[in-house]
């Protein structure tokens, strides 16, 4: 929902619109969503969450998300997993990325790991990015 701001050299890579043709040369012809103007029904949920949490609640929730992500990243790193894309101090934001390439030689893919996490009640992490 809402506008997307990018530098002009990235504009050709923005996704197209599912109904309205774009009058610009672009390098990506696909669309991201089947709903051409987004899904406005999610906005009341977001608004209610922000109102219920308030400024202090949102700050605490953000702090806890960052603390939890860094705790889990460190625990997994100590167990032998490689955590990638950290900042200069070795910290993550509210999420982190683990390199799972070492599992490929035994036939385990990242999707297998996500499904196994769901078996134990964990929210499935983002496993892939869009391929252009």
Q: What is the pLDDT of residues 70-128, one digit of tens each?
A: 999 999 999 999 999 899 999 999 999 899 899 999 999 988 988 999 999 988 777 76
Lowest-confidence pick of 10-14, 28-32, 50-54: 28-32
Nearest to 28 by CA among 115, 110, 132, 100: 132
Which residues sit opposite 82 in a β-bridge? 99
Q: Where are the domains of the chain?
A: 1-38, 55-124
Q: Has this prediction a pTM greater than 0.85?
A: no
The CA distances from residue 60 to 12, 42, 48, in Å, are 39, 23, 17
Q: Are 83 and 97 in contact (CB under 8 A)?
A: yes
What is the C-alpha separation between 97 and 77, in angstroms, rounded? 11
């Amino acid at each position: 929902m809402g506008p997307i701001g990018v530098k002009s050299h990235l504009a050709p890579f923005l996704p197209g619109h599912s109904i309205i043709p774009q009058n610009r040369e672009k390098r990506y012809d696909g669309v991201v969503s089947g709903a051409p103007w987004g899904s406005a029904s999610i906005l009341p949920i977001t608004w209610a969450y922000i109102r219920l949490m308030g400024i202090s609640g949102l700050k605490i929730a953000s702090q806890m998300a960052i603390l939890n992500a860094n705790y889990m990243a460190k625990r997994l790193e100590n167990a032998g997993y490689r955590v990638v894309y950290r900042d200069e101090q070795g910290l993550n934001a509210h999420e982190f990325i683990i390199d799972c390439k070492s599992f490929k030689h035994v036939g385990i893919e990242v999707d297998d790991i996500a499904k196994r996490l769901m078996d134990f009640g964990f929210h499935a992490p983002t496993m892939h990015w869009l391929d252009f």
